[in-house]
Amino acid sequence: MLEKKSVVIAGGGSTYTAGIVMMLINNQDKFPLKSLKFYDNDFERQKVVADACEIIIKERAPEIEFVATTDPAIAFSDVDFVMAHIRQGGLKMREMDEKIPMKYDVVGQETCGPGGIAYGMRSITGVIELIDYMEEYSPNAWMLNYSNPASIVAEATRVLRPNAKIINICDMPVAIKQGMADIVGLKSGNDIVDRYYGLNHYGWWTEVLDKDGNDLMPQLKEHVKKFGYGPDTSKDDNDNPLLMEQSWVDTFAKVKDIYAVDPDTLPNTYLKYYLYPDYVVKHTDPTHTRANEVMENREKNVFSECRNITKKGTAQDTTLEAGEHAEFIVQLAGALAYNTHERMLLIVENNGAIANVDDDAMVEVPCIVSKRGYEPLAMGKIPTFQKGMIEQQVSVEKLVVQAYIEKSYQKLWKALTLSATVPSAEVAKLVLDDLQEANKDYWPELS
Ligand code: NAD
Ligand code: G6P
Ligand code: MN
């Protein structure tokens, strides 16, 4: 019998919370729960999701104690895991992050370029607050953090809370590995054993094997060269297996061009913002960005389905479901709780994992996860091209965190200037000044 665990989901009102709840319920044999709590600083928003999840839990796993609260003392006491996914400023501020740079023909993106930097300056405060609550009320707990921009958040926690038990994670490699599995005819991304290195939203695969050790790279490269991680468009039966929205379909297809730059590796989709920023700007509607799509689709769908469940008083025929995003965080909690020694990509302090990158960079590499935490695997030396790109982007992220801590306008300007998405110091300043104005309720006051 596995010992039961207690979890708090911080950002209970997130569009991802219900999916994680569905996954937790489906995993009661592998990750049994004593209690599940929701914590959010927006009572009304969280209540919509919590009321529906309470019904789901009553119907499917009534033994789990459930509480939704805005009180940190209640939320963070007696928990083993904090699953965090907050969005400081909400999707409305994401919209600003995306639209302001576009005014100057610069990439406007949630986590990359100036938008990601602006979001980082908001997020640090919120995530540090969660860590402090966890350390006060459940000092032995682990925080598994999805809150973005994960690389800036990771660097900030490394500097500001160096001993915190936080693991920063990303679901993008997980989703790409599912795409790879589809391409080669495997059932799940979990059937793949990989070697990968880089930063969050900024990395490369050097090896992709199946569980028997067969090399899948040649077959994947053949496919990626023509279709990116998208489906084979020459076949009739290529219904989009991942049921992605068009903007994601385009992102998966654009990998073809990212791959062309370095055909020795397979890339993360997010590299398009750094390698093809001009293309991205040309193909983005500055009046209707991804934030608008998310508000019109995921947010609207999740919240209307939650209201629907509450109104009907039952979730028996609910359309809410758990995906890879939820699977990954629940798998990680299970590995830490029950010592499974699974191999997972995590964002950790380098300390030699990438031999020729600074020890104090926060990198994304495979780790072995067990009761004692995570142990990064050594990825060896990397080529000049990737090393150059990584050093540039690590410096951007470090400058953002220094700017936050020192409240330095100058350092933040340098961070934007150094980003490969920004053409000049002049444009960097124009974008920064607009972002600063839009973020005055969230950023530390800079001088
Ligand atoms: P959302 O706005 O729907 O949900 C975020 C919730 O956090 C809201 O209910 C909000 O009220 C709450 N919140 C904001 N600040 C808070 C604070 N300081 N304390 C407590 N609660 C707070 O956003 P979403 O689209 O569901 O995304 C949630 C987060 O997950 C975002 O940061 C997103 O980027 C991130 N995410 C990360 C990955 C990854 O790969 N790391 C994948 C998916 C989503
Ligand atoms: C992937 C990334 C996340 C990012 C999300 C954005 O899952 O790994 O870090 O937040 O995409 O997706 P969205 O649907 O909100 O644009
Ligand atoms: Mn991510």
Q: Which long-range contacts (CB under 8 A, 24 or more apart) does 143-146 make?
A: 143/81, 143/82, 143/84, 143/167, 144/81, 144/82, 144/83, 144/84, 144/169, 144/329, 144/332, 144/333, 145/84, 145/85, 145/169, 146/16, 146/83, 146/84, 146/85, 146/170, 146/171, 146/325, 146/329
In this prediction, residue 238 has a pLDDT band, given cuts at 50, 70 and 90, of low
pLDDT score for 244:
77
Q: How far is the CA of 150 from the centre of ligand 3 (A)?
A: 7
pTM score? 0.98
| 171 labelled catalytic | yes
pLDDT band at 119 (very low <50, low <70, confident <90, very high): very high
CB atoms within 5 A of ion ligand 3 belong to 170, 172
| Cβ of 86 less than 6 Å from ligand 1 | yes
Among 171, 196, 259, 274, the active-site one is 171
Distance, CA 3 to ligand 2 centroid (Å)?
33
Could you tell me which CATH number the domain at 1-340+382-447 has? 3.90.110.10
Q: State the sign of the Cα–Cα–Cα–Cα dihedral 340, 161, 67, 65.
A: positive
Tokens 């006060």 sit at which residue? 136
Residues 128-171: tens digit of each pLDDT: 999 999 999 999 999 999 999 999 999 999 999 999 999 999 99
Q: What is the ipTM score, two decimals? A: 0.99
Domain ranges of the chain: 1-340+382-447
Taken in order 360, 110, 282, 400, the sign of the CA dihedral is negative
Token pair recorded at residue 16: 């991802």
Residue 239 has pLDDT above 60, yes or no: no
Tokens (6 digits) for 303: 């919240």
Q: Are 443 and 403 in contact (CB under 8 A)?
A: no
> What tokens were used for 341?
């020694």
Q: What pLDDT is attached to residue 237?
A: 61
158 belongs to an annotated ligand binding site: no
Tell me how far apart the alpha carbons of residues 60 and 319 are, in angstroms, rounded to a whole number. 15
Can you tell me the mean pLDDT for 317-340? 97
Cβ atoms of 176 and 268 within 8 Å: the answer is: yes
Atom index in ligand 1 nearest the CA of residue 170 equals 40
Asked whether residue 94 is marked as a ligand-binding residue, the answer is yes
User: Whose Cα sits closest to atom 8 in ligand 2?
Assistant: 172
| pLDDT band at 233; cut points 50, 70, 90 | confident
pLDDT one-digit tens code per residue, 184-194: 999 999 999 99
User: Is 97 touching ligand 2 by the criterion CB < 6 Å?
Assistant: no
Selected catalytic residue, list 270, 273, 374, 404: 270
- Per the annotation, the verdict on 270 as an active-site residue is yes
Tens digit of each residue's pLDDT (9 = 90 or more) over 167-187 = 999 999 999 999 999 999 999
Average pLDDT over residues 60-75: 98
Any ligand 2 atom below 6 A from CB of 171: yes
Q: Is 87 annotated as a binding residue?
A: no
**Nearest protein Cα to ligand 2, atom 10:** 148
